[in-house]
Amino acid sequence: MVFERPNKSVKPQPSKSNNTNLGTQRSNSNNKPSKNNSSKRKSEKLPPVWLKHPLEPNSQPNSDASAGFIEYLRWMRSHDDYEDYPEYNYEDYKDIAKLQILQLAEENADYYQRLSELNKRTKLIAGENNSFEVTCPWRIRVGGHRGPESILLPAFDALGMPCILSSSLRGVARTQAIQQFITEGMTLQQAENEVMKYFGGLDADNGDNMGKVIFLDAYPKPIDKSGGLSVDITNNIWSWENNNLNYKPNPQTFFSLKQSTFVIGIRPTNNCNPQTLEKIKNWLIFGLQSGIGSQVNTGYGKLVLPNKTQYQQFFQVEFTIQGQLIHGKHKFVNLNQPYKKDRQGNLEKDRNNKLKPNTSTDAEVRTIALKSMLRYWFRVFALGVLPIGSTQITEAYLKSFVKRENTRPPSEVKVLEAILFGSITPQVRGWVQFQVTKGELIRPEAKSEKDEPGKQSGILIINYSSEAPQERLNAIKKLFTNLTWMMFHLGGIGQGARRPCYSRQGRYPEAKPPKWRGSLLIPKSSDSFWKLPPTVTEFKRLFRQRLQAFYTALEELTGNTINYQHPRTVDLKEAVDKNCRIIVCTGKEDFNKCYALAVLHSEELKINKLKNDKKNLEYDEILCGKSEKPSVLSYIACLIFN
């Protein structure tokens, strides 16, 4: 399916009586602003958006609520709309417009009648007892492509209804069948020949060219009118550029389906017996439980039978987050006024002279947050004992490990990171899967000084992916078990991960939210593995044991001897190398700040900085970090001991 932008509409010349605070008056036939009133219009101008153009005040989409999302694509704007607005850069505001149109489509959706009819049709076509329901505990994004302005779109049918395409369902069942036959002792080629008897194939023998089962498109049930269609966000903060790490938040909004229930229908052909139908159905069910679609290793795409949720894992821990929380999508407070205004009604601008979007964040327990933090700490510790790696990792090299063609154990950090956690470029799934279940917002973030800190909870589950080699399972388990323990005791998670949770009550009365800053990631387990000793000295000894176990697992995984007692020197801040020190400390709080943070923020550790030709005492950025670009040393300068 290909979406093309409609031809640019002719901009009408509004009359003076039709002028609004979002529009501008035009005084000549060439649509050029009048010089006499240029200063007034400059203060009124806003960057063109896709939903309401300043020159077209009546261009607000008026689509019926039952219209699919693709109906909104006709309102997309182009670079040409910015020709008359030289003070605004298209690239600076296109993401705001994308979020605006996605949020409008989500909030306006009412697909109840259409999805109900599609679910009923699936059951009728499949026949009696040939349909079943599966539920997504969190989010799912199947199929799809890049739409206008590179918006990531999931699979839609011709009318814009979200669905799982039949080809995707067939692929899941077929892949599960191949994996089963390989487990039973067949080679890959033998397994592929065997599945042709069930799913068909051009090279099949004995008349098995046609599959035994017809798969139908699966539609979500209209539980919340939209079937779960929800604005989502991805944000790739860390990236390798040659042999350097680049820190740059890059939030991108897209559509996924949240906590949807799908009606799955399969129909037997004339040459399919009941035993074959049941076998294919079971392959499909097990395949859906492993995950379908994109970002499967990050918690997306799990589909399970109702009331039969089962997760395989080699490690799990229940946790609580306190303070600033994990956030998901941003949301406009007012769709018709996407930019912030000050008390005088003037549009606010940031330090880069860009208009500030008037958005709020939704607190959401997201698997990707914990996976990214584990990935970060893996890289930090591994860089101190292993080489960074080659400048470029080829897709063929990474996939050679997946296909078991490469027998040489990977011993470079960039390669190991991609193999364990997955990679986008080149695209590799990874050996480890992450899942968060029972994610819950217990208490929203504090808005006033009297409010308690925000609180979230969930259960982190870690398991092997289907690509993890059997001979390395024990090393993978040992590595991630100890890495997870260290993550819980090295900092928080989410927006406040760089500092422990503390209150700003009474300290900064004029300060804007958050009233509580920082984050605490707390394990909730009675297992002896998580039990902490009562003294700093004993905790120091325990932390060393966990760190040594991590390095031992890294040694087993790579097959190389690792001298973790004498780490190397790395020309990267993001490394626990020879020059790094981790300090364990404890003491009394100092005016609502925990002891370690109070020490870092103490007058003794402040440094002189010139500001307006005057010396001012300010926090040391190397120790405490800064908002523009957090210093990694601010993560590992102190280990909070509670």
Q: How far is CA 590 from CA 224, 464, 595, in A?
A: 48, 44, 6
User: Is the Cβ–Cβ distance between 329 and 232 less than 8 Å?
Assistant: yes
Cβ-count burial of 394 within 10 angstroms (0-12 exposed, 13-18 middle, 19+ buried)?
exposed
- Residue range 601-642, pLDDT digits in tens: 788 888 887 666 667 788 777 677 665 544 444 444 444 433
CA distance 592 to 323: 13
CA distance 5 to 47: 20
The secondary structure of residue 147, as a DSSP letter, is -
Cβ-count burial of 204 within 10 angstroms (0-12 exposed, 13-18 middle, 19+ buried)?
middle
Other Cβ atoms closer than 10 A to 6: 10
Tell me which residue of 153, 329, 156 sits closest to 255, measured CA to CA.
153
Strand partners, 516: 503
Give the residue ranges of the chain where pLDDT is below 50: 1-43, 53-55, 57, 629-642
- Residue range 330-349, pLDDT digits in tens: 899 888 788 888 888 888 88
Percent of the chain predicted with pLDDT > 70: 80
Q: How far is CA 592 from CA 508, 596, 603, in A?
A: 12, 12, 16
pTM, two decimals, is 0.84
- Residue range 212-271, pLDDT digits in tens: 999 999 999 998 888 999 999 888 888 887 778 887 888 888 889 999 999 999 999 988
Task: Report the pLDDT value the prediction gives residue 521, as an integer from 0 to 100.
Answer: 92
CA distance 506 to 490: 28
Tokens 């402040």: give the residue: 606
Q: Which amino acid is at 322?
A: Q
Cβ-count burial of 250 within 10 angstroms (0-12 exposed, 13-18 middle, 19+ buried)?
exposed
Task: Report the pLDDT value the prediction gives residue 199, as an integer from 0 to 100.
Answer: 92
Task: Give the residue ranges of DSSP H helices in 489-575.
Answer: 536-558
Task: Report the pLDDT value the prediction gives residue 585, as an integer from 0 to 100.
Answer: 80
Task: Report the pLDDT value the prediction gives residue 630, as an integer from 0 to 100.
Answer: 46
